[in-house]
Amino acid sequence: MRQLRRYEGRRVLVTGGGSGIGQETVLRILAEGGSVVAADVSEAGLRDTLSKAHDAEHRLSTTVVDVGDEDSVRGGTAEAVRHLGGLDTLVNAAGVLRSAHFEETTLAAFEHVLRVNLVGTFLVTRESIPALRAGASPAVVNFSSTSAMFAHPYMSAYAASKGGIQAMTHSLAMEFSKQGIRFNAVQPGSISSGMTDGTGEARRSVGPGLPADADYTLFTKISPSLPLADGAMFAGPDSVAAVVAMLGSPDAYFITGTEVRIDGGSHM
C-alpha cells in the first residue's frame, strides 16, 4: 500500500498526546510527514510518545499543558506555535472519563470533567485561532463521543461534556467558515485508550471506574457489531487516529461542521 504523505509541510498541535488515541494520532501524523507538538499534562506520557517516534523524533516536540488551566493553555499554545512557526491543524484529544451513579456524583467531580473536556477544548481552540487563520488549509478536529448522542449509563458528566463539544464544533464551523477554518469532530466508541484501559470486568466491557454494583446488562446495546480479534470488545486507538488524520488534512477540504462515529457499528 502506498504510504500517505498528507502532512508534509503541515504544522500540527495535538493535545492529550501522551497516551491513547492522542498518542496514536501524533504517531500517525508523524508517519505522514507532519511536524507535531504533542501537549499533555503528563511528562511521563510525553516521554513515552517521544520514545515511540523513532526516526521521526526530529519532527516531534512536546510541551506540558493542563488544558483546564487558562494560563497553562495560553503559554503552551504560544510555545507550540513558536516552535512550529505557525499552525495548520489542531487536534483536541485531551480528556478524562469518570463514571459514577448520578446521585452520588459530586459537584467537584462533575465540574472537573467539564473543565478538562469542554472548557479545555474551548481554551486551546481560542488560543489557536490566530495561528490557524494564517495557516494552510486550516482544520480543527475535536473529540466528542458516542455518549454525546446515545445512552451510556453512569457517565452523565462525560456525556454532558462531549455533547457540549459536539454542539460547539458545529457553532465554530459556521462562525469561521468564511475564514476557511474547518471544524469537525470524531465520536469514538468502544475504543481502547488511556481513559478506558482498566482491568477485569471493566476492561472487557466499558472501561475503568464503574460503580461496584454497576448493571452490566445496561451496556448490551452499545457493543460493537463488527468482530475484533480474540473476541476483544475494544478496537485499537489507530482506528480513530486514521480518521482524525483524514479530517485534519487537506483531503477533507469540503468537510466541516459534522462528526464521524467510530464505534464498530454499536449504534447503527
Write out the catalytic residue numbers. Answer: 158
Give the C-alpha separation, 3 to 6, whole Å: 9
List strands edge to edge, sheet with 139-143. Answer: 60-64, 35-40, 11-15, 89-92, 139-143, 182-188, 258-262
Burial class (CB within 10 angstroms; exposed 0-12, middle 13-18, buried 19+) of 144: buried
Q: What sign results for the dihedral spanned by CA atoms 241, 245, 246, 248?
A: positive
Q: Which residue has the cell 485531551?
A: 94
Pairing of strands 60-64, 35-40: parallel
Q: What grid cell was written down for 116?
A: 478538562
CB atoms within 10 A of CB 209: 16
Side chain identity, residue 172: L
Residue 187 contacts residue 95 (beta carbons within 8 Å)? no
